[in-house]
Structure 1
């Protein structure tokens, strides 16, 4: 069911000891009066300890990535079964940095989605256009194709385990943020395309997050948009005070 989510993607930050210190701080500061799901996505090295550190809380631990194969000769990769084995049941797939630096195509990402769902994992699926796409007024086509090629092969019932994260590439780690109007336009477009493919019930029950330089100073305005159900937070998720302030903004 559609609900508010604030997820922190730590990327390649924090050792195990730094993870524990952050989580202690977050648990202390976390508001108790908010109906919002809080997710943290540490690096692989901290997943196991984070799950155990948070076992008596409502904070969810997610992985930042996984391989599409069940196992095999893929040096340095992590499978869905390995993630499940350490208690992780949510995974981020398709982040723009994975697409850009590691050349992950929509076809590869579709395979990853299939594998995650086959293991009853929840997927936070990232989509977003580059600056040239927006300047050329092709951004709607780019987003539609990412949805179609990455997710629209799924059966309707699979969408209960799908969360969408819209992250304009030009607003990630740049300090630039899409305007609230631009964000709402894109989230409404995504929801309409889901409705065209799967019907109104699926569309209204899919949580769509915004990712792109969300910080305490702009979170409330972004989250107040009708089709924005929370955020996938990068840099601001690395400080418990900032992350908590963003959660408070829901």
Structure 2
């Protein structure tokens, strides 16, 4: 049975249960099709979140408006966050996020590399754009850091990442924050991004983004302004002491 599922995943054959999955139904061929009414709610969640509303606030508004969940329960902040993190809303699907440990007890566990996983891009029609989905992921990480959920011990965080609080955006002067892009995928990348852009979007600042490996080649010892410069169509960087 495990072999059969593995072969289906390798061939890109997807089995998705829409009973607990907002925004989609299945057609007669078993393919995902957008449920237009539910899709409006999904779009609202993403837009409200990137425009400043927290997951708890969104959940409270839905409960106050009497919007039912798929299991007839109440909305919670965790429910909203799980939807925001779901790659299916941008048209992709990640297979084998979890795996069954014991087929007799049906006990499952989060897949941390114990079995192969498969990521399929463009599997079905998206409800939100990839840009909006990525923006929501940035906001989730930013807010988690602000609350200390990614490390309550600030001194420990500073010792792990010595450049924290040392880098600044040339466009708005805000501090650059350490981010991990595609943290659970092979294309994982660590970058430093303008905190104004992360928090308020490109309408507030076009932002500055620089890869951690580029900074690793520098010997930055003091507060530094990072400026992006285009030269011959390629991105380069200029570094200036913040005191100058």
- Output the TM-score relative to the length of structure 1: 0.24
Instruction: Return the index of the structure with the highest Cα Rg.
Output: 2
Q: Which has the higher strand share?
A: 2
| Structure that is richer in helix per residue | 1
What's the TM-score, normalizing by structure 2?
A: 0.24
Which gives a bigger RCO, structure 1 or 2 (Cα 8 Å, sep 6+)? 1
